[in-house]
Amino acid sequence: MRYLKSIAVGLSIGLLPSFVLAQGAEVPFGGLQNDPSLPIEISADQLNISQADGTAIFKGNVLIGQGELRISAGLVLVEYSAADGASTGKISRLLASNGVTVVNGAEAAEAERAEYTIDNGTLVMSGNVILTQGENALAAEHMVIDLNTGVASLEGRVRTIFQTGGN
């Protein structure tokens, strides 16, 4: 009986990390580290600019490049910084939707939506997030990446597949 209790306690402790990981996880993202001060290049099938609210909407096959970071989406709203009520021409935030893919090196992430805040180097992805790092994969509903440090936090029923490198 004591032996069965030991096995039950051992299994409980062994499963605890899996339970914690299912609630939220923090993952190193060396490949998704990026310098937010680098210039941003955007191409798309169509562009609509609004001087009134200081935004631009890129539609259709949108491709964004900044350093090694690449973002693709169906639609991207660009918000510009403002000073004294006038646009500075400096991009402050990118809001991507309609299927977003982020690639940097061997790491890639997909989601329904993404928000990239340039000044603090934060990329927030939401809606069926899938992250691949080499042969490993993680899935969640929400992911926040600090592009300055290369650290990501995933939340919302986190699921993982890690390759063990076995024979």
3-state helix/strand/coil string of 90-147: EEEEEEEEEEEEEEECCEEEEEEEEEEECCCCEEEEEEEEEEEECCEEEEEEEEEEEC
Higher local confidence (pLDDT), 67 or 142: 142
Q: How confident is the model at residue 28 (pLDDT cuts 50, 70, 90)?
A: low
- In this prediction, residue 6 has a pLDDT band, given cuts at 50, 70 and 90, of very low
CATH of range 2-161; options 3.50.50.60, 3.40.228.10, 2.60.450.10, 3.40.50.720? 2.60.450.10
Kindly state the average pLDDT of the residues 112-127. Answer: 95
Tell me, what's the pLDDT at 26? 54
Higher-pLDDT residue of 7 and 51 is 51
